[in-house]
Structure formats: C-alpha cells, structure tokens
Amino acid sequence: MNNLLPADGMAVLFPALFTPEESDGYFQLLKENINWKQEPVILFGKTVMQPRLTAWYGDEGKTYSYSGITMQPLRWTEELLAIKSKVEAAAGQDFNSALLNFYRNGQDSMGWHRDNESSLGINPVIGSVSFGAERVFQFRHYMNRSVKRAVLLTHGSLLIMGGETQHYWQHALPKTARPIGARINITFRKIK
C-alpha cells in the first residue's frame, strides 16, 4: 500500500471504497438523515461559528470534546453502520464513534489541526470517508511546516491515517474558489 507521507506516519488512500452508485445513495441518505448543526467554537478566546456543519454519532457514552465544546453522541443510523463495517474491514480495526462534516460549498473548510485528543490514545487509526464534491486535503509536518503533501479526496474514497501521523502531521481542508457543490466527510474514530 502506498504511503502518502514521506516519514513520521502513515496515510493510505482507497480511491473507490464505494462505487459511484453507492456513493450517490449514501450522500443523499446522509444529507437527509443526519442531524446537521452549525456549532460554535472558541478560537483564541473568541466564540465563532464553525465554517461547516457537523454531527457526532457513536456508541453510548463516547462523548467528544474539542475547542471548548463537548458533544454527546447520537445513535448510529442504519447507513452509518453499513459504511462503518466497510471501513472497519479496510482498516483492520473497529471504531466506536464518528465525527461528520458537511461542507456546503467551497467556502466551508477545516483549519490546520491534529486529531490528537487524549481520548483517542496514542497513535490512533482514523478512517475518513468522503462523498460528494472532490476536495483537496492537505498535510503539513508539525515540526517542519514547509514539508507538505496533498491528496484529492474523491466521491466514495477512504483515507486511513495511522501510526504517528497525529503526532507529527497537521491536516486541513482549505477553502476553494472553484464553484463546487457540497461534500460530506465521516471520520471514524475509536474513543478509549
């Protein structure tokens, strides 16, 4: 399997884990059935709205905290469970929660960060599924920020990050001026 990172972590892309037809179906189901909300976050002491919609699903009791907000998980939907089992088979491990992101257009984004919450433990495996508009996903080395990698996340793809990735690499989903439609992303995680 081809590692997208030159060192200090592992990131592997499955460009077509889901067929275009399956992906179209899941995009519609998730768009309609997920309880999407625009949540506030505290950034440098100021409360601002996130530039995307989010939702948190998972096994009971697996709460999630970041940037000053704590989310209680909603109960898995049928389609989320079906997507989760395919991701688990590809990743070779199980997941108990998922953060969902809805990027309404090219102006919605996610800034540089690491998925390094202590609740994920050391060297977590994260399975990231994309449906809808293609977006560029970027990595930059945390200690040497000019070292960058980029990968196009296509409709029905799975990106798996593992090893020391969340220690050494930040990732982001930048805005784009291209006139594009909506994108749904699901990051499956294992909360300890």
Ligand X SMILES: O=C(O)CCC(=O)C(=O)O
Residues that bind ligand X (CB under 6 A): 99, 101, 110, 115, 128, 137, 153, 171, 173, 185, 187
Give the separation between CA 172 and CA 177, rounded to whole angstroms: 16
Bridge partner residues of 141 (DSSP): 169
Provide the edge-to-edge strand list for the sheet that holds 53-58.
10-14, 157-162, 126-132, 183-189, 97-103, 53-58
- CB-wise, 141 or 171, nearer to ligand X? 171
Which of Mn ion, ligand X, none does residue 128 bind (CB under 5 to 8 Å by kind)?
ligand X
- The token pair at 79 is 């389609």
- CB-wise, 29 or 84, nearer to Mn ion? 84
- CB-wise, 30 or 173, nearer to ligand X? 173
Query: Exposed/middle/buried for 189, CB within 10 Å: 0-12, 13-18, 19+?
Result: buried
- Of all residues in this chain, which one has the CB nearest to Mn ion in the complex? 115
Which of Mn ion, ligand X, none does residue 165 bind (CB under 5 to 8 Å by kind)?
none
DSSP string, 142-176: SSSTT-EEEEEE-TTEEEEEETTHHHHEEEEE---
Shortest reach from residue 119's CB to Mn ion, in Å? 14
For binding to Mn ion (CB under 5 A), which residues are involved?
115
Shortest reach from residue 48's CB to ligand X, in Å? 17
Helix (H) or strand (E) holding 69: strand 69-71
- Of all residues in this chain, which one has the CB nearest to ligand X in the complex? 185
Amino acid at 93: Q
Shortest reach from residue 160's CB to Mn ion, in Å? 13
Shortest reach from residue 128's CB to ligand X, in Å? 5
Shortest reach from residue 94's CB to ligand X, in Å? 19
Q: Pairing relation of β-strands 69-71 and 40-43?
A: unpaired
Which of ligand X, Mn ion, none does residue 153 bind (CB under 5 to 8 Å by kind)?
ligand X
